Amino acid sequence: MKVLVAVKRVIDYNVKIRVKADHSDVDLTNVKMAMNPFCEIAVEEAVRLKEKGVATEVVVVTVGPKAAQEQLRTALALGADRAIHIETDERAESLAVAKLLAKVVEEEQPGLVVLGKQAIDTDNNQTGQMLAALTGLPQGTFASEVAVDGDKVNVTREIDGGLQTIALTLPAIVTTDLRLNEPRYAKLPDIMKAKKKPLDVKNPADYGVEVASKVSLLKVESPAERKGGVKVASVDELIDKLKNEAKVL
C-alpha cells in the first residue's frame, strides 16, 4: 500500500524565539528552520513500513512557502519516494491544511496517512484529526506503536492515564507521538540521490481550497517573565524558606 506523510517546516526546536516589537507575530527572519520533530518521526515510521514490505511507496507532502521544499528534500533523503509541495505564503491554519491534504488523499488513495501529533510552533494538535474527519477515515492519534495487520492497523496511543490500544480499519490516519521511533539521520549519498527524486509543485487553487481562515491573530506577546530566584546553601535553609517565606509547606 501507499503511505502518505505530511511534514511541516518550523523553527528549529532549540531556538529561543523572539516576539516582534510590534507584537504582530514571532520574528522568523534569519532564524534556523527545520522539519517539525513529530513529522520526522512520521517519515521514519513510513520508511520503516516500506522496509518491512508493508508499504510500497512513501509520498511526502507539505503546505507552505517555497523554502519548505528543503524539508521535502530531507524527507526524500530519509527514504520517501516522491514529494508534493503545495506552495502558499499565507499563514495556513490547521483546517486549511487538512482540506488540502484531504484533496491529496482523494487523489493518491493512500492506505495509511501519517502525520506528527502537533507542530512545535502553533502547538495546535489538530491537523490529523481534521483530516480524518474530512476524509471520513478513522484516526489513531498520539501513536507510540503502529502495527499493520491485513486490512486493519493496531495503534497504541499515549493517553493521560497510560496507554490505550485501538484497532482501525484501513485506510486510516495516524499521528505520531515522540516515543513511536527514533528517526535516522540522512547520509550524504542519500541527500545527493534525493535531489533527483520527483517533487511536484502545486498551489491551493489547483485543489480549489481557500487558505484564508476565520481565526485572526490579534497579538503575540512574551509571557510574563519569572523573576530570578535565590540559591540556598543547605536543605535546612530550603525547608525554612518554603515554610516561612513561600509558605507552600
Partner 1 sequence: MSILVLADLHEGQLAGATAHVITAAKAIGGDIDVLVAGDSVHAAAEAAAKLDGVSNVRVADNAVYAHQLAEPMSALLAALADGYSHVLASASTTGKNVLPRLAALKDVSQLSDIIAVESADTFKRPIYAGNAIATVKSDDTLKVITVRTTGFDACPDRERDSGSAPIEAVDVVVENSQSCFVKEELAQSDRPELSGAKIVISGGRGMGNGDNFKLLDGIADKLGAAIGASRAAVDAGFVPNDMQVGQTGKIVAPDLYIAVGISGAIQHLAGMKDSKVIVAVNKDEEAPIFQVADYGLVGDLFEILPELESKL
Hey, which residues between 135 and 164 contact partner 1 (CB under 8 A)? 137-142, 144, 154, 157-164
Stretch that binds partner 1, among 55-63, 67-75, 78-86, 133-141 (CB under 8 A): 133-141
* Residue 132 lies near partner 1 (rule: CB under 8 A): yes
CB-neighbour burial class of residue 208 (10 A; exposed 0-12, middle 13-18, buried 19+): exposed
Do residues 176 and 114 make contact, with C-beta atoms less than 8 angstroms apart? yes
Least Å distance, CB 95 to partner 1, is 5
Hey, which residues between 16 and 45 contact partner 1 (CB under 8 A)? 16-17, 19, 26
Least Å distance, CB 102 to partner 1, is 9
* Residue 69 lies near partner 1 (rule: CB under 8 A): no
CA distances from 75 to 7, 107, 246 (A): 8, 21, 50
CA distances from 26 to 117, 123, 145, 211 (A): 22, 14, 34, 20
The number of residues that bind partner 1 (CB under 8 A) is 80
Candidates 30, 52, 230, 244; binder of partner 1 (CB under 8 A) is: 230
Select 14 or 185, whichever has its Cβ closest to partner 1.
Answer: 14
Candidates 98, 114, 211, 244; binder of partner 1 (CB under 8 A) is: 98
Closest CA to 55 of 114, 118, 124: 114
Residue 148's DSSP bridge partners are: 153
Select 196 or 225, whichever has its Cβ closest to partner 1.
Answer: 225
Q: What residue type is 13 in one-letter code?
A: Y
Hey, which residues between 175 and 204 contact partner 1 (CB under 8 A)? 177-179
Cα 151 off chain centre by: 25
